[in-house]
Chain A
Amino acid sequence: MSADPGAARRRDLSLLLAVLLALLGVALTIIYFMALQAGAAPRLADLAYARLPGTGVQNPVTAVLLNYRAYDTLMELAVLLAALLGIWSLGPAAPGFQRSGAVLAGMVSWIVPLLIVTGGYLLWVGGYAPGGAFQAGALLGAAGVIVRLAGDPRAGLPAEAAQRWLLVLGVLVFTLVGLGLMVFGAGFLTYPPKLAKWLILAIEMAATVAIAVALAAAYVGGRPPGPEARPTAADEDAEPQPPASSPRPPVPGR
């Protein structure tokens, strides 16, 4: 054991922390158990289900996200946008990975269209079953991650100017719908029951695109590389430069 008094003190401190946190865990568990024993108090669920027919959707979770608590979801899209602006403000992205070999490229060309179709399905099904903008956006974002891993430095996204528009699309459509409803006499984001379904669908479509682009762009991790960074057909025809560290002979993309 080292004679360093600082290390010993740190060990004592972390032991003390462990004991205190274990006590906290026990206390929380007891409180949780007692709360379960006490039985069901009146909760928002009953109200949420009672008002469901007027919300335009049959899935109660979607109703909570986009009707009852629409402000919450609007602000959440703003948080996502703010996080991405923070990432972009830290500088340009890393150059990305070398072009994938034939096997990975083949898998990507199968799985990315599948993810896009599944994302569209999840977006639509969110009206009456588990699904919705967040799940669809997460799937599409995952498709972007895969494309980036397979060698596209921009994760399959368009150039920076177009990316900016796609990123703000969620907040923009959400706010415009809210303001439009105010103009027509309803409150901000208070949908009339007849139009609710289509307004929610429009918001969800915009939100899906914005979430997907934000997640993929966050994975790229910086201001997007310019158009010259995108591999073109000319690059693929050109003799690929073998990376110094890799013994594997480079394989063209497809």
Chain B
Amino acid sequence: MLTAQFLYGGAGLALFVLGLWSFLVHEPLLRKIIALNITGAGVFHVLIAIAYRGDAAPPDPVPHALVLTGIVVAVSATALALMLGARLQDAEDEDRSR
């Protein structure tokens, strides 16, 4: 099933490039955070596709574990980035109202 593996990984590469484009082009911080998450999702896609070793063999557990670790790190980094963004917004609003 080389085709399925290629399509899955290729979709991951497409997500990676789209996320990168959105991150570079769009100004609002929230859009940048979402774009980075899409980029990360693309990387996870590629790792999962790489783990496939044919129908006969079980998948490679090492990339699977890396993805599992990566998801948790991505979620926590996103939460921190969102909070920083919210505080930044608060500070800007305060400055404007002054």
Contact = CB atoms under 8 A, between A and B. Distances in A.
A1 interface: no
Contacts, number: 117
A79 B57 CA distance: 34
B84 A90 contact: yes
Interface stretch (A57-65, A97-105, A176-184, A193-201): A57-65
A91 B58 contact: no
Interface residues of A, number: 45
Given A21-B20, A22-B17, A76 B58 contact: no
A40 B62 contact: no
Contact of A211 (B6, B62, B72): B72
Contact of A45 (B17, B61, B80): B61
A65 B80 contact: no
A110 interface: no
Contacts of B62: 43-45, 48, 64, 69
Interface string A69-89: 100110010011001101100
B29 interface: no
A147 interface: no
A227 B53 CA distance: 53
Band of interface residues on B: 35 or more
Contacts of A221: 79, 82-83, 86
B28 to A, nearest CB: 14
Contact of B14 (A14, A25, A90): A25
A138 B73 CA distance: 12
A134 B75 CA distance: 12
Given A14-B25, A24-B17, A25-B13, A63 B61 contact: yes
A83 B77 contact: yes
B12 to A, nearest CB: 9
Given A21-B21, A69-B65, A73-B69, A83 B6 contact: no
A21 B17 contact: yes
A134 B58 contact: no
Interface in A1-51: 14, 17-18, 21-22, 24-25, 28-29, 32-33, 36, 40, 43-45, 48-49
A79 B73 contact: yes
A40 B60 CA distance: 11
A36 B6 contact: yes
B2 A80 contact: no
Contact of A36 (B2, B14, B60): B2
A222 interface: yes
A90 B68 contact: no
Contacts of B6: 32-33, 36
Interface string B54-98: 100111111011001101110111011011101100000000000
Nearest to A76: B69
Interface of B: 2, 5-6, 9-10, 13-14, 16-17, 20-21, 24-25, 46, 51, 53-54, 57-62, 64-65, 68-69, 71-73, 75-77, 79-80, 82-84, 86-87
